[in-house]
Amino acid sequence: MAEPEVEAAWRAEFKRIGETQVRDALNSITDEPKRQAAFRWLGDEAEARRLREEQAHHYVRWTFFAAVAAVIVGLIGVGLTLLH
């Protein structure tokens, strides 16, 4: 494993390049510590993406429930209005 400062510089480089290009360039990285750092960075990025997607799914689910509840309340309101 490389020095923390060196790995931090590599991670900044990977972030600048982007996930897709880092993944495409893995086979051409000949420096093994840098290659391992790239694998770790890609894993960290994948985990961060998974957490963002999970959080977004949570908000979508609750927004859907709120919309359904609003429709039900609206239907009840219309029904009560028609009864009067």
What is the distance between the terminal CA atoms of the chain, rounded to a whole angstrom? 76
Asked if 33 and 2 count as a contact pair (C-beta separation under 8 A), the reply is: yes
Structure confidence at residue 71 as a pLDDT band (50, 70, 90): very high
Please give the structure tokens belonging to residue 16.
């600048």
Give the mean model confidence (pLDDT) for residues 9-32: 91
Dihedral, 33, 36, 41, 42 alpha carbons, nearest 10: 150
Summarize pLDDT for 34-62 with one digit per residue, the tens. Answer: 999 999 999 999 999 999 999 999 899 99
- Which pLDDT value is given to residue 30? 87
Domain ranges of the chain: 4-83
- Which pLDDT value is given to residue 42? 95
Structure confidence at residue 13 as a pLDDT band (50, 70, 90): very high
- Identify the sign of the CA torsion 53, 36, 17, 26: negative
